[in-house]
């Protein structure tokens, strides 16, 4: 793999994604940055839903959808015609697999999703609708804040926990480092990843992660045009100039 560009990826890729990376000139070295633990007691979540006359579901991550699937598997009946909103096509696709068609914001973060919800319910009386955000313990507050400013009630329902891992970062030079979440940036920092004079290009899956990375490093961050891993890898290869002629347009 001497002709491939070495990149550090802060999460695991599946075999198909690794093969795709190799095909476009990249050699991904995977060092996972976080562990996810899903909720196993759903009584309080069921109570939250029961206390709201009309709920709207919001998802800002695929892990939120995975937790929601476990919630469904617990035998709790939910209406199929409920309004659902999601950040990113991948999250929407995961919801579609569960039978829910989600509206997706053009802006790939919580702010964009909040604005989309506001547009949809701007004529609804205050208190008539509650947005239920299925999220992790390290969620950001922007969506909830802009919803409240617009008079739309929201409730963060924590359905998974994110634990930062101690990353064992190889002592070698990489041409790029890929981050998939603000938590990955935090884990990389806690593991000493930013202490060295790193010359690698920095890549983020989305604007929220890019903001965290930019604040941490003060450096330029390349942001993937979409939150899909294959497109992210293709973008990395293009930026690094790795075998451009092999990249399928």
Q: What is the mean pLDDT of each run of 10 residues along the chain (249 residues)?
A: 86 96 96 95 86 89 94 79 90 92 89 94 84 92 92 93 95 94 95 83 93 94 92 96 50
Q: Which two tokens stand for residue 38?
A: 């899903």
Q: Which domain holds residue 29?
A: 5-33+165-246
For residues 216 and 193, is the Cβ–Cβ distance under 8 A? Answer: no
Instruction: Output the CA–CA distances (angstroms, integers) from residue 189 to 30, 164, 183, 184, 213, in the order listed.
Output: 16, 10, 10, 9, 10
Q: What is the predicted pLDDT for the residue at 229?
A: 93
Last residue of a domain, one of 108, 134, 161: 161
Whether residue 146 sits in one domain with residue 131: yes
Q: What is the predicted pLDDT for the residue at 197?
A: 62
Q: Which two tokens stand for residue 14?
A: 């599946």
For residues 13 and 226, what is the distance between their CA atoms, to the nearest angstrom?
Answer: 17
Last residue of a domain, one of 129, 161, 193: 161
Domain total of the chain: 2
Last residue of a domain, one of 146, 161, 176: 161
Whether residue 233 sits in one domain with residue 144: no
Whether residue 133 sits in one domain with residue 85: yes
Q: Which two tokens stand for residue 152?
A: 């739309």
Sole residue written with tokens 């930062």: 164
Q: What is the predicted pLDDT for the residue at 107?
A: 84
Q: 99 by DSSP, 3-state: which?
A: coil
Instruction: Output the CA–CA distances (angstroms, integers) from residue 163 to 79, 160, 183, 209, 249, in the order listed.
Output: 32, 10, 9, 17, 37
* Contacts with 31 (C-beta within 8 Å, 6 or more apart), sequence order: 8, 9, 10, 167, 168, 169, 170
Q: What is the predicted pLDDT for the residue at 2?
A: 58
For residues 242 and 24, is the Cβ–Cβ distance under 8 A? Answer: yes
Whether residue 136 sits in one domain with residue 42: yes
32 φ, ψ to 5°? -60, 140
Whether residue 187 sits in one domain with residue 119: no
Whether residue 100 sits in one domain with residue 25: no
Whether residue 28 sits in one domain with residue 41: no
Whether residue 222 sits in one domain with residue 121: no
Whether residue 170 sits in one domain with residue 94: no
CATH number of the domain to which 117 belongs: 3.40.50.10090
């Amino acid at each position: 793999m001497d002709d491939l560009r070495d990149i550090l990826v802060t999460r695991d890729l599946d075999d198909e994604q690794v093969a795709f990376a190799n095909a476009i000139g990249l050699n991904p070295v995977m060092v996972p940055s976080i562990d996810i633990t899903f909720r196993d007691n759903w009584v309080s979540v069921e109570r939250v839903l029961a206390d709201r006359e009309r709920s709207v579901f919001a998802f800002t991550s695929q892990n939120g959808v995975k937790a929601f699937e476990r919630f469904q598997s617990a035998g709790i009946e939910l209406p199929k015609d409920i309004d659902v909103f999601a950040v990113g096509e991948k999250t929407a696709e995961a919801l579609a697999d569960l039978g829910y068609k989600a509206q997706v914001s053009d802006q790939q973060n919580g702010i964009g999703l909040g604005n989309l919800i506001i547009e949809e319910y701007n004529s609804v009386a205050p208190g008539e609708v509650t947005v239920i955000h299925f999220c992790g313990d390290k969620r950001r507050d922007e969506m909830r804040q802009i919803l409240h400013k617009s008079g739309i009630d929201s409730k963060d329902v924590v359905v998974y926990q994110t634990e930062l891992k101690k990353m064992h970062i190889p002592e070698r030079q990489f041409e790029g480092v890929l981050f998939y979440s603000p938590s990955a940036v935090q884990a990389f920092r806690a593991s000493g990843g930013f202490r060295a004079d790193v010359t690698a290009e920095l890549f983020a899956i989305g604007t929220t992660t890019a903001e965290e990375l930019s604040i941490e490093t003060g450096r330029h961050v390349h942001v993937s045009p979409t939150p899909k891993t294959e497109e992210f890898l293709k973008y990395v290869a293009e930026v690094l100039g790795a075998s451009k002629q092999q990249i399928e347009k």
